[in-house]
Chain A
C-alpha cells in the first residue's frame, strides 16, 4: 500500500525569468554598484568603479541601509530603472 502525504513545501514550480542579453561592450552604459554596508566594502567597490570607468562605463553607486536586511524595494526599483547593467556579487 502506498502512503499519500501532503506537500509540506510552498508547492510552486520555480518561476522562469527571462534575462536580458549581455551587453557586448560597457562603453556608454550605466553600471550599478550596490554597497551592502559591510566594513571595507567601499574599498573594493572604489577599485571596481575605477576599472569600469576605464572601460567607458558610467558607474552609479548605491548603498543598502544595513547588510543584515534585504535591500528596500524602492532601492531595487531605482537600480533597475537607472542602470543598464549590474554586477551581482557579495564579498564577505
Chain B
C-alpha cells in the first residue's frame, strides 16, 4: 500500500491508499464528528454529520469523510462556515426526535444547535443504523432491521430471531445513541416472546 500525502485543516497528513478522509484525520488526531460511523462496520454515509469540504480540481466540494477516499494532495477542511451550518441543521433535525440524547447534546453545544428549533416528534430513533448493521455485519444474526421507508422508516426486532439470539447478546444496546433500541427490544419481548422474559425474572 502506497503512502498518500494530503492536507487536512492546513496540516500535512500521511495516509495509506484506500483510507477514508475520516480515518486519515483520526490518525492525525483531527476530530470529525460522526453518528453512524463504527470502525467494525462498513461505511454507511447516512448521518452526513461528518461532511467536510474538499478541494478537487480547483473547485470546492462537500463530501462525507467516512466514505471519501484519500487522494494525493487533497486539501480538506473539516470546519467551515458552510460545514458548520450543515452540521447544526442536521443536529437540530435529529434533536426533534431524540431531544435527550447525550451524544446529540454534546455536539449541539459545539455547533450551537437549538434543540427546540423544530417541533418535537419524539420517536427517539435517529436512524443511525448502528444496531441493524452491527447485528448483520458483526454478529451475522439480522435480529433487528429497518422497516418501511422515507419518513415512516423505523427499526424493529424480528421476533423469531430476537427470541433466540438477543438475550445472550445485547451487544447493540450500548451502541444506541438514544435509549430507543432497548425500549424497542423490551416492547418486542413483551409482545412476542414474554415467556423468555419471565424466565429471567
Asked if chains A and B come from one complex, the reply is no
Chain A residues proximal to chain B, CB less than 8 Å: none
